[in-house]
Amino acid sequence: MNIFVLTGAGVSAESGLGTFRDKDGLWTRFDPMKLATPEAFAQNPDEVHAFYNMRRQNLLAAEPNAAHRALAHMETALAERGGSLFLCTQNIDDLHERAGSQRVAHMHGELLKARCTACGETMPWLKDLSVEVPCPSCRRSGGLRPHVVWFGEMPLEMDALYDALLAADLFVAIGTSGSVYPAAGFVTEAQGHGIRTCEINLDPSDNARQFDDARYGPASATVPTWVEQVLTT
Ligand code: BV8
C-alpha cells in the first residue's frame, strides 16, 4: 500500500512548538505578512531574523512526540511490505527526522537551514542569524536568510510531491487547518484521481468536508492508533 501523508503544525503542537491559527497561535500574535514574506525580509530583515531566531531556539529545546514516532515506524513497516509512506510536511521543524523518518519532503523549507541569497548556498544552521553574519561559503554579509518558503514563494519539491500524491492509494492530512495553498489543494487533487482521503486532526479543518474519512483528537493519540490499524489490516 502506498500512502501519502501531509502534516501541518498540529503534529508538532504537543511538542510545544505551537500552531499558527489556533487560539494564541503564531499568526494570532505575529502578522505573517510582516514576517513571512520576501517583501517583509527586504524591508525589516532584523525583525524577520529575530522572529526566526526565537523559533529556532524553541525548536532546539523541543522533542518529537508519539505522532512523529508512529509515522517513522509506519515508513519502515510499509517499506518492509513492499509499500511506501511518502511524508510531506508543511512544517519547518526537524521533529519528523529526529523521530526517525528517513525521507521527509519539507515543502515549506527547514528552520535549521540557512540560504545565502548572494551565492545560493544552503547550509545547516543552528545559531542566530542576522544581516551581519557572513556567508561561510562566499563570505558576503547581509545575504543569509532562513531556508523557509514565505508567502508568495514557490514551495519546494512540487514535482516530486505531485508524482507521489498521484501514485498513492491513500492521502492522509494530519494536523493542518487546510488554509495554505498549494498544500490545502492536495485533497482535491487526490479526490479528482479517485484516491481515498482521510483527515486526522484535533477538530475539523477548513476543508474537512472534502475528506472521505476523519479521526479527531490529539495527534499523539490518534496517529499511533491509526498507524496500528493500518499495519494490522
Ligand atoms: C504559492 C513557512 C505560488 C514559514 C509557511 C497572495 C500572494 C501570493 C500568494 C498567495 C496570495 N494569496 C494566497 C496565496 C497563496 C498562499 C496562501 O495559501 N495563502 C493563504 C494564507 C490563503 N500560498 C503561498 O504563498 C505559497 N506559495 O502559492 O506560490 C504557487 C502556487 C502553486 C504551486 C506553486 C507555486 C507558499 C505558502 C507557504 C508559506 N509558508 N510557512 C514559517 O513557517 O514561518 S505557511 C504556514 O502555514 C506554515 O508553514 C504552516 O505549516 C502552514 C499551514 O498551517 P498549518 O500547518 O495547517 O497550521 P495551522 O495552525 O493553520 O493549523 C494547525 C491545525 O492543527 C489546526 O487545524 C488544529 O486544529 C490542529 N491541531 C492543533 N493541535 C493539534 C492539532 N491536530 C492534532 N493534534 C493536536 N495536538
> Of the candidates 117, 111, 119, which has an alpha carbon nearest to the alpha carbon of residue 146?
111
Separation of CA 184 and ligand 1 centre (Å): 8
Instruction: Name the pairing type of β-strands 170-174 and 2-7.
Output: parallel
Long-range contact set of residues 90-93: C-beta below 8 Å, sequence gap at least 24? 90/6, 90/7, 90/8, 90/9, 90/176, 90/180, 90/183, 91/7, 91/8, 91/9, 91/11, 91/12, 92/55, 92/146, 92/148, 93/12, 93/15, 93/17, 93/59, 93/62
Question: Could you tell me if 139 and 205 lie in one domain?
Answer: no
**Residues 193, 148: contact at Cβ < 8 Å?**
no
Find the domain containing 137 and state its range.
18-61+110-148
Domain limit, last residue, from 97, 121, 148: 148
Domain with 214 in it: what CATH number?
3.40.50.1220
Q: What is the percentage of the chain residues whose pLDDT exceeds 70?
A: 100
Please tell me the distance from the alpha carbon of residue 218 to that of residue 10, in angstroms, as a whole number: 8
- With a cut of 90, say whether residue 1 has pLDDT above it: yes
Q: How confident is the model at residue 30 (pLDDT cuts 50, 70, 90)?
A: confident
Give nearest CA residue, ligand 1 atom 56.
Answer: 8
* Pocket perturbation via mutation, ligand 1, pick of 180, 211, 223, 225 by most ligand atoms within 8 A of CB: 180
Question: Could you tell me if 217 and 174 lie in one domain?
Answer: yes
Question: Could you tell me if 92 and 199 lie in one domain?
Answer: yes
**Residues 116, 135: contact at Cβ < 8 Å?**
yes
- With a cut of 80, say whether residue 28 has pLDDT above it: no
> Cβ < 6 Å from ligand 1: which residues?
8-10, 13-14, 19-22, 25, 36, 90-92, 108, 148-155, 158, 175-177, 179-182, 201-203, 205, 218-219
Domain limit, last residue, from 148, 177, 200: 148
Domain with 31 in it: what CATH number?
3.30.1600.10
Question: Could you tell me if 98 and 25 lie in one domain?
Answer: no
- Report the domain count for the chain: 2
Question: Could you tell me if 6 and 41 lie in one domain?
Answer: no
pLDDT for 202 equals 97
Q: What is the mean pLDDT of residues 65-85?
A: 98
* pTM of structure: 0.96
pLDDT for 145 equals 98
Cα–Cα distances in angstroms (integers) from residue 200 to residues 40, 74, 128, 220, 224, in the given order: 33, 15, 34, 11, 11
Question: Could you tell me if 208 and 132 lie in one domain?
Answer: no
Q: How confident is the model at residue 147 (pLDDT cuts 50, 70, 90)?
A: very high
Question: Could you tell me if 76 and 183 lie in one domain?
Answer: yes
Question: Could you tell me if 116 and 102 lie in one domain?
Answer: no
Question: Could you tell me if 217 and 129 lie in one domain?
Answer: no
pLDDT for 33 equals 81
Separation of CA 9 and ligand 1 centre (Å): 9
- With a cut of 90, say whether residue 5 has pLDDT above it: yes
Q: What is the mean pLDDT of residues 204-223?
A: 96
Report, as residue numbers or ranges, the catalytic residues. 108
Q: What are phi and psi of 75, to 5 degrees?
A: -60, -45
Domain limit, last residue, from 93, 126, 148: 148
Question: Could you tell me if 135 and 233 lie in one domain?
Answer: no
Question: Could you tell me if 232 and 125 lie in one domain?
Answer: no
Question: Could you tell me if 127 and 195 lie in one domain?
Answer: no
